[in-house]
Amino acid sequence: MKVRTAAILMVLFGCSTALFSQRPATQDTGPPALVSLIRVIANPKDFHGQPIRVVGFLGRGGGLDKGGVGLFVSEIDSRNFIIPNSIDLHVDESMVTSLMGRYIALSGTYHAPARLGYNGYIDQIVEVSPLRPGK
């Protein structure tokens, strides 16, 4: 009797594990969840290779290349070129030219830095939109 009960429990456990370990094919992946830019900068390894959605101020610089495009925590950080408060963006500049000097929401894939003094970068950008006051 004990062997039979143990066998039944093992089969049920195996089935439930298999059932809950798979993501349903019909599940909507949707846009990535909104994450604080500060949180990404503070914990880069937690977001490495992940699709993320962040809000920040779009300006020149933001990484190792002062001429490139960066996403800054604030307008003040951008205007004063505070690199520790920014993430580099690997984006075609024509995609963001009209949004330079504005707060934006951006979705893409984050890559953690390989060395200190650099906060990584976002590429594979799928959405860039201006923030509207009160939204």
Q: What is the pTM of this model?
A: 0.72
Task: Count how many residues are written for the chain.
Answer: 135
Residue-wise pLDDT tens digits, 82-134: 989 999 999 888 888 899 999 999 999 999 988 766 899 999 999 999 988 76
Fold of 37-130: OB fold (Dihydrolipoamide Acetyltransferase, E2P) (2.40.50)
Residue-wise pLDDT tens digits, 29-53: 566 879 999 999 999 999 999 999 9
> What is the distance between the alpha carbons of residues 117 and 120, in angstroms, rounded to a whole number?
9
Q: Domain limits of the chain?
A: 37-130
